[in-house]
């Protein structure tokens, strides 16, 4: 053994430490991966050694490698070993490694529970601190459940260092184990008034974080926070509190009114920008929630806007950015106040920082009005020209479109101008947003009927100009625009001035270089154009011209028939056949124009995007039921509407049955309607004009009108929108003059033009240039009301939406705190439950007291609400009264405890019932004592006895003193200078109903035998009648188990230990056990301080170590109803005693 250690230490001298590793990595720049894999091999060797220092060094190096991106999950167990080292040096490294690489998926994490618990209760505050820090990074729901109580206890630790850490980590615990929130909350609230500023700020932090997610549960804390806000000078804390108020005010408008004043004071006085920014943000939030009724609220807004202006004008880019960000929040509700600073925002568009420019763009969106839209867009267009990066240029482009199209084109008064802007945008090379421009063109052309004529003229010019087509590569997104242009020219071909010219443009050979989907649209719309030209020519009685066009089609279409794109090819060949047929008819002088144009009769209307979703399910229709009993075969497929190419289908039908008689058609139509009615996939929209044309095929006559354009056509590529700006200005001027003449008439005119546009007052003066009717999108009949469902079910904060004012039910207590029974009825109840108990130090009574307070408060709150409706003035007075009441109730003891509802929690439903190692020591009518004994590997002859003292009486207990009769073997550690007969004073007093924990250290020589010590607790009980000396005798039982310390062991070491042969062996068997093996194992591990080494089915090996270094190995097997345990230990007496204790535990299972 000694030899092994020597070897370990010498090896250690040759091991690389972290510095060597880092240096090595830096020296091996070329073959870093190779070097590191070599290092990892070395580390693996080091981890196999017994020397903990070597292991810690190895783990430290692994942590570094983990940061470099290497997987170290394989070393998780070694990390736990280092975590459980007794020396702080190693423990620190172990916890650091764990916090860096453990996560919820790490399976060995469950092995750490006991280790962490031990460290949390360590006498060294740094051990506790390091454990808390580590836990904050890798806490899992299981750890949170098991350790919640320990951490809660630490919130009342004597050292502020521990208290503040414990308070902060509670937030993580709440997130993982929401059930702990209610039991822990009263204590958390207490910490808001902790004497230590660090603890206080931690508590503020936690409550603010909680409250921001679920503000309504924390409204009752508002007065407390208000006090803190007006008294605190710590900016970190102030920021949190102010943020919290921002979350609370939407729920309580009265709070907002109160807040405005202190907040504006802060805004005026503070020099800290972070605080100023937070205040401004909260004031904005408050003003948003206070929709009206604030007399000086415009003053506050003005103040905010002014301060923000200062931020934006600052040379610091960060402040500029945040100023713009906050400005955009104000903009949402108070656009007027922001619009005054348009100059500033436009100035920011010239900033060198792109993110600032983008923020400014966001602001612009809200700043536009009918008046300034043209000007702003002009400015943006000039930026588009000089923008260097494509991303920013694309962003500008989307913004322009966004600004113009927002709220149903609310701000656009002249759509000619808008179309020309869009056309100008098509000159952008290499933009990704061609489809956006295209969508806008289509949208405007379809929805604004009056603009179609103009749009068509622009689009035909676009089609005609070669520059787009010429520069079009597959990647150039701008060619998408041609898709829109082709469609618009085809669909609204009646507005075309020179249809023949456009037709030729669309049939150019260059077109075949366009992407397939665009070509497909070309082919389809060529026919529409063709139909319209035929009609025109036939009406004008120019059969030659008509035949000429047909010939053109027949000549040019084959280039599309050869297309590689399936869609294009298919359409082109169909159409080619159709045109050839027409050619034959034309040769016979048969008029064809009407029939051809009937192919495209009817008008398309936009359908609302949600239309499909809103179709109500007809009564009696079960969508899940089969419509036809056997799943129908392919036949039914054919009858479904083909979807996208609706008109194409029409055409086929027409081709096939050109002479179908009216009756037949009617019959088919009827059958089809029947089909559709039964077809769940078919959207019914009977009254829409979209379907109407089916009923009157080929009857509608589309006249081709000669269009007289007021604006001369321009070749695209020249800046045109400016001209429209001038035209528009002139128009507005004229209008103004006109308006002066006839005020009343304009109002009538303006009214029916627009849908859904909300005019701001000043804008109302400007009437749109076109007779604009934006066709609203169609919805199916009986559209279902929209359902707002979207709340993320995975939101972790949702679980913390817990009512904190409701009195605490017993079932909600943190896992097993049963020894703190308060009233006797419950006491009897609980004693039937054999589950042993977990440590808790502080009082349920305190919670109860708190509960009382809370209840009073809510009652009071309700009163307050009522009265405030009647008299608002009294409000303040009552609040003062309330706080007085609170103080009173603190003094007064709750007397109605018996009335408390007794609910027994269903703790047994948990797969692994939480356990506690505390057991009853002694009890009388005054006091109840429970205790737990813990050994520590650091001190091989000491154990710590933690005694929880709970005052069960109405008296005040003080001068408590604990004394024991020392034995030769076991002695109580007494303060220096006291004799062996003196007692040890308990360092606290107990008010009624309060419990607290005291720790006593005992020194022990031999640990192989269990032993009992007799002792006495003496105290003075003081109540109204006077005070009495009382005492309580007890017997302290030191079991052998209490000398064991949970120590993890990995299977290699375990096997070596067993092989070594220096262990003596013994075994026991217990019958009649019904508990599951899992629970059994957990129980043994918990109560007897073992850790599981390996588990296979219902057989497990376990390990533990005594404080004096005895190894204890167990092999536990579960049979049908029995359990056998084989034990090996370096001391046979210890083993047999341990096994006896195990037997006793097992017998209870």
Partner 1 sequence: MQFMLLFSRQGKLRLQKWYVPLSDKEKKKITRELVQTVLARKPKMCSFLEWRDLKIVYKRYASLYFCCAIKDQDNELITLEIIHRYVELLDKYFGSVCELDIIFNFEKAYFILDEFLLGGEVQETSKKNVLKAVEQADLLQEEAETPRSVLEEIGLT
Compute how many other C-beta atoms are within 10 angstroms of the C-beta atom of residue 786.
9
Residue 988 binds partner 1 (CB under 8 A): no
In this structure, what DSSP letter does residue 1038 have? E
Residue 317 binds partner 1 (CB under 8 A): yes
What does the block give as tokens for 716? 């695209």
Residue 899 binds partner 1 (CB under 8 A): no
The β-bridge partners of 951 are: 927
Nearest approach, Cβ of residue 475 and partner 1 (Å): 23
Applying the rule CB under 8 A, the residues between 351 and 370 that interact with partner 1 are 352-356
Residue 105 binds partner 1 (CB under 8 A): yes
How many Å apart are CA 1087 and CA 1083, to the nearest integer?
6
The residue among 197 and 223 lying less far from partner 1, judged by its C-beta, is 197
Q: Which residue from 146, 150, 209, 491 is in contact with partner 1, where contact means CB under 8 A?
A: 209
Nearest approach, Cβ of residue 159 and partner 1 (Å): 11
Question: Residue written as tokens 């979209």?
Answer: 690
Residue 103 binds partner 1 (CB under 8 A): yes
Residue 19 binds partner 1 (CB under 8 A): yes
What does the block give as tokens for 397? 């482009």
Residue 31 binds partner 1 (CB under 8 A): no
What does the block give as tokens for 243? 């943020």
Q: Which residue from 27, 291, 318, 776 is in contact with partner 1, where contact means CB under 8 A?
A: 318
What does the block give as tokens for 418? 């808008």
Q: Which residue from 154, 168, 331, 800 is in contact with partner 1, where contact means CB under 8 A?
A: 168
Nearest approach, Cβ of residue 96 and partner 1 (Å): 6
Q: Which residue from 157, 163, 172, 857 is in contact with partner 1, where contact means CB under 8 A?
A: 172
How many Å apart are CA 67 and CA 627, to the nearest integer?
60
Nearest approach, Cβ of residue 245 and partner 1 (Å): 13
The residue among 162 and 922 lying less far from partner 1, judged by its C-beta, is 162
Nearest approach, Cβ of residue 45 and partner 1 (Å): 19
Binding pattern for the stretch 135-154 against partner 1, x by CB under 8 A and - elsewhere = -xxx----------------
Q: Which residue from 5, 696, 784, 898 is in contact with partner 1, where contact means CB under 8 A?
A: 5
Applying the rule CB under 8 A, the residues between 719 and 758 that interact with partner 1 are none
DSSP-derived 3-state class of residue 1103: strand
Task: Please calculate the CA angle 744-747-752 and round it to the nearest 5 degrees.
Answer: 145
Nearest approach, Cβ of residue 57 and partner 1 (Å): 11
The stretch among 37-45, 100-108, 184-192, 297-305 that binds partner 1 (CB under 8 A) is: 100-108
Compute how many other C-beta atoms are within 10 angstroms of the C-beta atom of residue 834.
7
Instruction: Give the residue from 1077, 969, 796, 1048 showing the smallest Cα distance to 176.
Output: 796
Residue 320 binds partner 1 (CB under 8 A): yes
Q: Which residue from 277, 560, 931, 1002 is in contact with partner 1, where contact means CB under 8 A?
A: 277
Task: Please calculate the CA angle 173-177-183 and round it to the nearest 5 degrees.
Answer: 80
The residue among 10 and 470 lying less far from partner 1, judged by its C-beta, is 10
Applying the rule CB under 8 A, the residues between 234 and 253 that interact with partner 1 are 234, 236, 239, 243
Residue 206 binds partner 1 (CB under 8 A): yes
Residue 94 binds partner 1 (CB under 8 A): no
Compute how many other C-beta atoms are within 10 angstroms of the C-beta atom of residue 606.
15
The residue among 659 and 790 lying less far from partner 1, judged by its C-beta, is 790
Compute how many other C-beta atoms are within 10 angstroms of the C-beta atom of residue 748.
8
Query: Which residues neighbour 347 within 8 Å (Cβ) at sequence distance 6 or greater?
Result: none
The residue among 270 and 723 lying less far from partner 1, judged by its C-beta, is 270
Residue 771 binds partner 1 (CB under 8 A): no
Residue 55 binds partner 1 (CB under 8 A): no
Instruction: Give the residue from 575, 606, 778, 596 showing the smallest Cα distance to 697.
Output: 596
Start-end of H helices in 742-776:
743-750
What does the block give as tokens for 511? 């077109």
Per DSSP, the residues of 472-529 read: --TT-GGGHHHHHHHHHHHHTGGG-SSHHHHHHHHT-GGGGGS-HHHHHHHHHHHHHH
Calculate the alpha carbon distances from 540 to 531, 533, 546, 588, 705 in Å. 14, 10, 10, 18, 12
How many Å apart are CA 1085 and CA 1046, to the nearest integer?
8
The stretch among 101-109, 844-852, 881-889, 979-987 that binds partner 1 (CB under 8 A) is: 101-109
Residue 344 binds partner 1 (CB under 8 A): no
Residue 270 binds partner 1 (CB under 8 A): no
CB 171 within 8 A of CB 210: yes
Residue 678 binds partner 1 (CB under 8 A): no
> How are beta strands 919-923 and 927-936 bridged, if at all?
antiparallel
Q: Which residue from 201, 405, 431, 1137 is in contact with partner 1, where contact means CB under 8 A?
A: 201
Q: Which residue from 16, 44, 48, 212 is in contact with partner 1, where contact means CB under 8 A?
A: 212
Torsion angle (degrees, nearest 10) of CA 419, 421, 425, 427: 90
What does the block give as tokens for 425? 């945008």
Residue 454 binds partner 1 (CB under 8 A): no
Measured between alpha carbons, how far apart are the two ends of the chain, in Å?
39
The residue among 23 and 749 lying less far from partner 1, judged by its C-beta, is 23
Residue 18 binds partner 1 (CB under 8 A): yes
Q: Which residue from 49, 57, 78, 100 is in contact with partner 1, where contact means CB under 8 A?
A: 100
Residue 88 binds partner 1 (CB under 8 A): yes
**φ, ψ (nearest 5 deg) of residue 985:** -70, 145
Nearest approach, Cβ of residue 937 and partner 1 (Å): 13
Nearest approach, Cβ of residue 274 and partner 1 (Å): 3
């Amino acid at each position: 053994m000694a030899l092994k250690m020597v070897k370990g230490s010498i090896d250690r001298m040759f091991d690389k430490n972290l510095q060597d590793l880092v240096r090595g990595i830096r020296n091996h720049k070329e073959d870093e991966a190779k070097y590191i894999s070599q290092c990892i091999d070395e580390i693996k060797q080091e981890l196999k050694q017994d020397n903990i220092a070597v292991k810690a060094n190895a783990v430290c190096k692994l942590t570094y490698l983990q940061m470099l991106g290497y997987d170290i999950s394989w070393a998780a167990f070694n990390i736990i070993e280092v975590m459980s080292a007794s020396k702080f040096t190693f423990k620190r490294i172990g916890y650091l490694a764990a916090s860096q690489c453990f996560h919820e998926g790490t399976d060995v994490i469950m092995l750490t529970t006991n280790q962490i618990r031990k460290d949390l209760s360590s006498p060294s505050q740094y051990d506790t601190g390091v454990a808390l820090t580590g836990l904050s990074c890798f806490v899992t729901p299981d750890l949170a459940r098991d350790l919640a109580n320990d951490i809660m206890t630490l919130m009342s630790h004597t050292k502020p260092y521990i208290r503040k850490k414990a308070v902060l980590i509670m937030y993580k615990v709440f997130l993982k184990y929401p059930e702990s929130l209610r039991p822990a909350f009263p204590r958390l609230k207490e910490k808001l008034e902790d004497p230590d500023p660090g603890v206080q700020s931690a508590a503020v932090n936690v409550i603010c974080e909680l409250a921001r997610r679920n503000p309504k549960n924390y409204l009752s804390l508002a007065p407390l926070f208000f006090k803190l806000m007006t008294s605190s000078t710590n900016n970190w804390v102030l920021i949190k509190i102010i943020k919290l108020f921002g979350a609370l005010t939407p729920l309580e408008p009265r709070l907002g009114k109160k807040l405005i004043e202190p907040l504006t004071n802060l805004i005026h006085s503070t020099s800290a920008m972070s605080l100023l920014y937070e205040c401004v943000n909260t004031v904005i939030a408050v003003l948003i929630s206070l929709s009206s009724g604030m007399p000086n609220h415009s003053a506050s807004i003005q103040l905010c806007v002014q301060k923000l202006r200062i931020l934006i004008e600052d040379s610091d880019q960060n402040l500029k950015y945040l100023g713009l960000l906050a400005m955009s929040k104000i903009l949402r509700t108070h656009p007027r106040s922001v619009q005054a600073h348009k100059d500033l925002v436009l100035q920011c568009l010239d900033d060198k920082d792109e993110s600032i420019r983008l923020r400014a763009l966001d602001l612009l969106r809200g700043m536009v009005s009918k008046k300034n839209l043209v000007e702003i867009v002009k400015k943006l267009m000039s930026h588009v020209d000089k923008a260097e990066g494509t991303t920013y240029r694309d962003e500008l482009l989307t913004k322009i479109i966004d600004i113009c199209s927002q709220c149903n084109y609310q701000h656009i008064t002249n759509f000619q101008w808008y179309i020309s802007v869009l056309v100008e945008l098509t000159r952008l090379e290499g933009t990704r947003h061609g489809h956006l421009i295209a969508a806008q063109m289509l949208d405007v052309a379809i929805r604004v009927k009056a603009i179609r004529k103009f749009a068509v003229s622009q689009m035909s010019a676009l089609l005609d100009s070669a520059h787009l087509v010429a520069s079009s590569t597959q990647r150039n997104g701008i060619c998408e625009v041609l898709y829109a242009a082709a469609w618009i020219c085809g669909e609204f071909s009646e507005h075309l001035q020179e249809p023949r010219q456009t037709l030729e443009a669309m049939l150019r050979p260059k077109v075949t270089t366009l992407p397939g989907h665009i070509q497909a649209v070309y082919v389809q719309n060529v026919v529409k154009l063709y139909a319209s030209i035929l009609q025109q020519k036939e009406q004008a009685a120019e059969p030659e011209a008509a035949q000429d066009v047909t010939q053109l089609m027949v000549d040019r279409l084959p280039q599309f028939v050869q297309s590689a794109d399936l869609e294009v090819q298919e359409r082109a060949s169909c159409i080619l056949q159709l045109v050839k047929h027409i050619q034959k008819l034309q040769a016979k002088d048969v008029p064809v124009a009407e029939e051809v144009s009937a192919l495209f009769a009817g008008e398309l209307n936009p359908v609302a995007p949600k239309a499909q979703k809103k179709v109500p399910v007809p009564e009696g229709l079960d969508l899940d039921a089969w419509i036809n009993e056997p799943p129908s075969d392919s036949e039914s497929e054919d009858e479904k509407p083909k979807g996208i190419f609706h008109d194409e289908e029409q055409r086929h039908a027409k081709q096939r049955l050109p002479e179908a008689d009216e009756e037949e058609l009617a019959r088919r139509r009827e059958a089809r309607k029947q089909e559709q009615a039964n077809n769940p996939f078919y959207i019914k929209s009977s009254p829409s004009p979209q379907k109407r044309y089916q009923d009157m095929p080929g009857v509608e006559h589309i006249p081709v009108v000669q269009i007289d354009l007021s604006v001369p056509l321009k070749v695209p590529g020249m800046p045109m929108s400016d001209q429209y700006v001038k035209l528009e200005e002139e128009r507005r001027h004229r209008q103004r003059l006109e308006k002066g003449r006839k005020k009343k008439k304009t109002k009538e005119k303006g009214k029916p033009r627009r849908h859904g546009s909300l005019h701001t007052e000043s804008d109302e003066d400007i009437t749109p240039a076109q007779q604009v009717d934006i066709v609203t999108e169609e919805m199916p009949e009986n559209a279902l009301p929209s359902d707002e469902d979207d709340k993320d079910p995975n939101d972790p904060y949702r679980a913390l939406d817990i009512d904190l004012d409701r009195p605490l039910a017993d079932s909600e207590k943190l896992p097993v705190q049963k020894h703190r029974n308060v009233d006797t009825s419950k006491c009897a109840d609980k004693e039937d439950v054999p589950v042993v108990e977990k440590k808790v130090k502080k009082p349920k009574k305190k919670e109860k007291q708190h509960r009382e307070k809370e209840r009073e408060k809510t009652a009071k709150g309700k009163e307050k609400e009522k009265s405030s409706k009647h008299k608002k003035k009294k409000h303040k007075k009552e609040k003062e009264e309330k706080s007085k009441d609170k103080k009173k109730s603190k003094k007064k003891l709750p007397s109605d405890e018996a009335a408390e509802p007794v609910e027994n929690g269903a703790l047994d439903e948990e797969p692994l019932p939480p356990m506690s190692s505390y057991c009853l020591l002694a009890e009388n009518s005054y006091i109840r004592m429970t205790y737990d004994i813990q050994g520590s590997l650091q001190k091989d002859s000491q154990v710590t006895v933690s005694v929880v003292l709970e005052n069960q009486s109405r008296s005040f207990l003080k001068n408590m003193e604990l004394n024991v009769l020392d034995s030769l073997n076991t002695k109580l550690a007494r303060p220096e200078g006291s004799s062996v007969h003196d007692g040890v004073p308990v360092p606290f007093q107990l008010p009624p109903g309060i419990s607290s924990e005291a720790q006593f250290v005992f020194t022990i020589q031999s640990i192989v035998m269990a032993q009992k010590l007799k002792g006495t607790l003496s105290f003075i009980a003081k109540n109204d009648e006077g005070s009495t000396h009382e005492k309580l005798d007890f017997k302290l039982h030191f079991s052998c188990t209490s000398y064991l310390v949970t120590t993890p062991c990995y299977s290699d070491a375990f096997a070596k230990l067993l092989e070594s042969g220096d262990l003596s062996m013994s075994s026991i068997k217990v019958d009649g056990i019904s508990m599951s093996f899992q629970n059994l194992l957990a129980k043994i591990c918990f109560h007897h301080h073992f850790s599981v080494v390996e588990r296979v089915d219902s057989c497990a090996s376990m390990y533990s170590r005594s404080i004096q270094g005895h190894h204890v190995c167990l092999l536990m097997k579960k049979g049908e109803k029995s359990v056998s345990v084989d034990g090996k230990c370096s001391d046979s007496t210890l083993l047999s005693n341990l096994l006896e204790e195990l037997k006793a535990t097992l017998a209870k299972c």
